[in-house]
Amino acid sequence: MSESENQPVHWLIVFAVVLTAVLEVLDTTIVNVALPHIKAAFGITSDQTVWIVTSYIVASIAVMPLTGLLSRKFGRRRLIISAIVGFAFFSALGGMAQTFEMLVFFRLGQGFFGAFLIPLSQAILFTSFPREKRGQAMAIFGLGVIVAPVLGPTIGAILTEHFSWRAVFYVNMPIAFIALLMVSGELKKEETQAVDIDWVGLLLMVTAIGALQMTLDLGESHDWFDSHLIQVTAIISAVTGFIFFVRGMGRKLNIIDFSLLKDRSFAAGNVAIVGFGVSMFGAIAILPLFVQGLLDYPVLESGQLFIPRGIAAGFSMVVTGSFLVNRFDPRMLLAIGLILTGTGNVMLANLNLDVSFWQLAWPGVISGLGMGLFFVPMSTLAFQNISSEKQDEASGIYSVMRSLGSSVGIAIIGWQLARRTNFHYAILTEQITPFNPAVSQYLAPLGLSPDTGMGAKVLANEVMAQASMLAFQDAFILSGLAAFAMLPMVLLIQKPARSEVGSPATVH
């Protein structure tokens, strides 16, 4: 039986670890809005700006699986305090960066220390709540992990518009300070363990994950496998990943305990969180491109578009964690969450170039409701058979898969968008000829004809806009299908005991 069952909930610790989770996930999206300003400040190219995002994600995902090992070696309290201090330190340096190279280096530091915040926060929450209230724990945790990145573009837009791009880094300081005070005062010290580090396995794992992340982040801007760089990173990731997996299966003291994946609920949960990440983050990533690039929304209004989605997600998580997860089969809630998330994304595919703000916002509300219905029960069911001793390590693996899902989603949806734009442009241009009466009718009110330079330019711009619109529709459909494709995973997850629905037992 878990000790937390007989212990009261320490709400200061809960608030502190949720703040630490917000620190990490907020930074994954808040910087994106400021990229054009950073590009102008340093006079860099669009390809170079990708490294500002990529450096953070690569460092974070590469070291995140080490959470369990380092937690055993140094203790949760010491590790999470070090992570908060390190993250705040590199955030401050990022705001003061004077060159592009300095900023990329500081982002690496942010990613390195930020990697431990999510899995440690989740593990601490599990031990801070009794089993019957773990649905509430995951609802609170989800408010930080899911709502923060959704609202990140809004916060980033406000800070950039009214202050400076440097403010998106400085905003981490007060959050980190409050979290540090609470964690230092409330979190108890733990006994540490002597841990032997498999340095070869560590090198293989970091190389495999880092190379995979670079492949995903740089693939679109380098034409994927037409680029020698992408070919090399993909091969390195595949080879080192295969060696790491085969080598680790036969080792008792591996960097990652692969025996955790023998539990069908944990394994299915990891697959489902990847698909959910593809669906959610894929759609979120291209929506600003759609409204700013095609609809000419200003940055601030583009950010405000995510507010209804964030409110819906927060409401859904609170209701699900406090009420629904204790009264219904959590697997049914998972299925409904996937359906709502996918439906909201597909609804975006029915829009056109004349849509209003609320026509864009309502599909986000539906997807936001789906987020809470998916995230809360999934976060409890996936860990229902994981012992307390393995919580840190399992949380690290789960967090890596969640992050990879977002990266895969952004890469796949971005690739689909570019490919389908070219496809639709080629199809549409076949119809643009001087002999097509519709072409002359379109240009006549403008006093132009298709055989003039201005007429050809107007036609080209309109065709590109329509081709882009069709490509966005295809991309939104694909993001919706990614959610629907995860429905079979629900059937593989073990149903918790009836007396513990929404609060799965911890097996020791």
Residue 433 pLDDT level (bands cut at 50, 70, 90): low
- Selection from 282, 345, 331 nearest residue 496 by Cα: 331
Q: 295 or 7: which carries more pLDDT confidence?
A: 295
Q: What average pLDDT does the segment 302-325 reach?
A: 80
Range of weakest confidence among 43-57, 125-139, 300-314, 453-467:
125-139
Q: What average pLDDT does the segment 131-140 reach?
A: 66
Q: Write the CA distances from 323 to 128, 318, 350, 429, 499, integer angstroms.
A: 19, 8, 33, 54, 15
* Contact status, residue 442 vs residue 461, Cβ threshold 8 Å: no
pLDDT tens readout for residues 173-192 = 888 888 787 777 666 666 66
Query: If DSSP states are collapsed to H, E and C, what string results for 22-90?
Result: HHHHHHHHHHHHHHHHHHHHHCCCHHHHHHHHHHHHHHHHHHHHHHHHHHHHHCHHHHHHHHHHHHHHH
Q: Write the CA distances from 64 to 40, 190, 211, 396, 486, integer angstroms.
A: 32, 21, 15, 6, 24
Dihedral sign (CA 193, 196, 202, 205): negative
- pLDDT exceeds cutoff 50 at 505: no
Residue 508 pLDDT: 28
Q: What average pLDDT does the segment 148-166 reach?
A: 74
- pLDDT exceeds cutoff 70 at 436: no
Neighbours of 47 (CB within 10 A): 10
| Range picked from 33-37, 55-59, 401-405, 487-491 for highest mean pLDDT | 487-491
Residue 210 pLDDT: 77
Q: 343 or 295: which carries more pLDDT confidence?
A: 343
Spell out the alpha helix ranges (H) of 97-146: 100-114, 117-128, 134-142
- pTM exceeds 0.85: no
Residue 338 pLDDT: 93
Please report, as a single letter, which amino acid is at residue 428.
Answer: L
Residue 409 pLDDT: 79
CA 26, CA 172: separation in Å to the nearest integer? 9
CA 217, CA 411: separation in Å to the nearest integer? 6
Q: Write the CA distances from 496 to 5, 78, 125, 500, 505, integer angstroms.
A: 17, 34, 20, 6, 8
What the block records as the tokens of 49 is 């700006």
Q: Write the CA distances from 362 to 166, 229, 348, 373, integer angstroms.
A: 32, 41, 9, 17
Residue 501 pLDDT: 44
- pLDDT exceeds cutoff 70 at 469: yes
- pLDDT exceeds cutoff 90 at 343: yes
Query: How many residues would you count in the chain?
Result: 508
pLDDT tens readout for residues 182-220 = 777 666 666 666 666 677 877 888 788 778 877 877 777
